[in-house]
C-alpha cells in the first residue's frame, strides 16, 4: 500500500498527489512513469512521475480526472492509500548537452515537462520553456519552471494569462529567428499539439522528441495495447518509450487508437444512459 501524503486541487478536475514511494523516488529518472491502481479490481492508469523527493521518499503525480478510474483516484484523501504504484517504468529521457533547447508543454503535459526541463538545465543546456492551456487556472508549475528555465513563455487560449493563442505560435517565432534556433525540441501534451510541433521543426531538421500517451494496460510490454508506429516499425510506448522521434511518429494512427474505447468510457461515466449491447451507443 502507498500512502497519500497530500492531495491538492490545482484546478477543476486537476489534482496534485504526493505519494509515499521511497524506492521509486530513489530510482526514477526524467521521462519515466508509474502504473497506478487504486484498489483490487480497479483499472490501471499510467502516470508520469512529475517530481520526487528522495529524502522524504515521495513522488508527485498530476492527475486530470476525466474518466472513472482517475476520478476515483483523485477522490482518495490524504491519509488514505493506493494499492499499487508500480515503477519506475519506461525509458528515461536521453539527456545530453545540446546547447539551446526548447521544451513545449500543453495542458497537463506540463507536469511531464517539468522533470525534463530540470534534467536538461542541470546538463548545462539553455532551456526556453513554452507552456499553454485553455485558461489561467490550467497553467501549472509556471513558478517552478521559471526558476529552472532560461526563459519561460506562457500562452492561454482565452488570453487570461500570457499571450493569447497556442504554444505553436511562440515556437514558430523562435524557429524564425536564426539567433534562437534550438538544437533540440521536446514536446509533451495533446496529440494534435505534438504533431503540430513536429511539423514546425521538420523543415529545419531539428531533433524533436515527443512523449506519447497511448492506451496502456500493464506497462510492461505484454498486452500490446500501447503499440505505436514509429517510421516503419511497431514499438510499445511502455517499454520502448514513452519518448520517440516526433518526425517518425504516426500521429494519425495514435489518435485513432486513443478513441477505441470512447463508448465504454462514456458508459462508465453515465451508466443509466448506457445502451451498449442493445444496438446503440450512449
pLDDT digits (tens, 9 = 90+) for 263-273: 666 666 666 66
Report how far residue 33's alpha carbon sits from residue 251's, in angstroms, rounded to the nearest whole number: 21
Is 278 a residue whose pLDDT tops 60?
no
CATH number for the domain whose boundaries are 100-211: 3.40.50.80
Which pLDDT score, from 0 to 100, does residue 27 have? 94
Is 123 a residue whose pLDDT tops 90?
yes
Residue 187's pLDDT band, with cuts at 50, 70 and 90, is very high
Which pLDDT score, from 0 to 100, does residue 244 have? 95
- What average pLDDT does the chain have? 88
The sign of the dihedral angle between the CA atoms of 116, 245, 195, 207 is positive
> Mean pLDDT over residues 65-94, rounded?
90
Which pLDDT score, from 0 to 100, does residue 5 have? 95
Is 262 a residue whose pLDDT tops 90?
no
Which pLDDT score, from 0 to 100, does residue 66 have? 80
Is 6 a residue whose pLDDT tops 60?
yes
Which pLDDT score, from 0 to 100, does residue 59 have? 94
Helix, strand, coil shares of the chain, percent, nearest 5, are 30, 30, 40
pTM of the model: 0.86
Is 2-89 CATH 3.30.200.210?
Answer: no
Report how far residue 42's alpha carbon sits from residue 174's, in angstroms, rounded to the nearest whole number: 45
- Comparing 67 with 114, the larger pLDDT belongs to 114
Helix axes 262-269, 68-75, angle to 10 degrees: 40
Residue 111's pLDDT band, with cuts at 50, 70 and 90, is confident
Residue 279's pLDDT band, with cuts at 50, 70 and 90, is very low
Which pLDDT score, from 0 to 100, does residue 13 have? 82
Ramachandran angles phi, psi of 16, nearest 5°: -110, 115
Q: Taking the domains of the chain in order of start, what are their residue ranges? A: 2-89, 100-211
- Comparing 242 with 218, the larger pLDDT belongs to 242
Q: Are 208 and 198 in contact (CB under 8 A)?
A: yes
Amino acid at each position: 500500500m502507498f500512502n497519500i501524503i497530500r492531495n491538492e486541487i490545482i484546478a477543476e478536475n486537476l489534482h496534485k498527489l504526493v505519494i509515499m514511494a521511497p524506492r521509486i523516488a530513489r530510482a526514477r529518472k526524467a521521462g519515466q512513469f508509474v502504473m497506478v491502481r487504486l484498489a483490487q479490481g480497479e483499472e490501471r492508469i499510467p502516470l508520469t512521475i512529475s517530481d520526487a523527493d528522495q529524502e522524504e521518499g515521495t513522488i508527485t503525480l498530476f492527475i486530470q480526472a476525466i474518466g472513472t478510474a482517475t476520478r476515483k483516484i483523485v477522490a482518495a484523501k490524504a491519509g488514505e492509500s493506493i494499492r499499487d504504484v508500480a515503477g519506475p517504468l519506461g525509458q528515461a529521457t536521453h539527456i545530453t548537452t545540446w546547447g539551446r533547447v526548447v521544451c513545449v508543454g500543453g495542458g497537463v503535459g506540463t507536469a511531464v515537462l517539468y522533470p525534463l526541463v530540470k534534467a536538461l538545465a542541470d546538463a548545462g543546456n539553455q532551456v526556453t520553456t513554452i507552456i499553454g492551456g485553455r485558461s489561467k487556472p490550467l497553467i501549472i508549475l509556471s513558478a517552478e519552471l521559471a526558476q529552472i528555465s532560461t526563459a519561460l513563455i506562457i500562452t492561454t487560449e482565452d488570453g487570461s494569462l500570457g499571450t493569447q493563442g497556442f504554444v505553436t505560435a511562440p515556437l514558430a517565432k523562435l524557429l524564425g529567428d536564426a539567433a534562437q534556433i534550438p538544437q533540440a525540441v521536446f514536446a509533451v501534451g495533446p496529440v494534435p499539439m505534438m504533431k503540430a510541433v513536429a511539423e514546425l521543426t521538420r523543415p529545419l531538421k531539428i531533433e524533436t522528441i515527443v512523449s506519447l500517451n497511448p492506451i496502456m494496460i500493464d506497462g510492461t510490454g505484454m498486452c500490446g495495447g500501447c503499440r505505436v508506429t514509429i517510421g516503419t516499425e511497431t514499438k510499445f510506448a511502455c517499454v520502448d518509450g514513452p519518448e520517440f522521434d516526433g518526425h517518425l511518429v504516426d500521429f494519425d494512427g495514435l489518435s485513432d487508437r486513443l478513441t477505441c474505447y470512447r463508448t465504454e468510457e462514456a458508459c462508465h461515466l453515465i451508466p443509466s444512459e448506457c445502451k451498449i449491447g442493445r444496438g446503440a451507443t450512449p
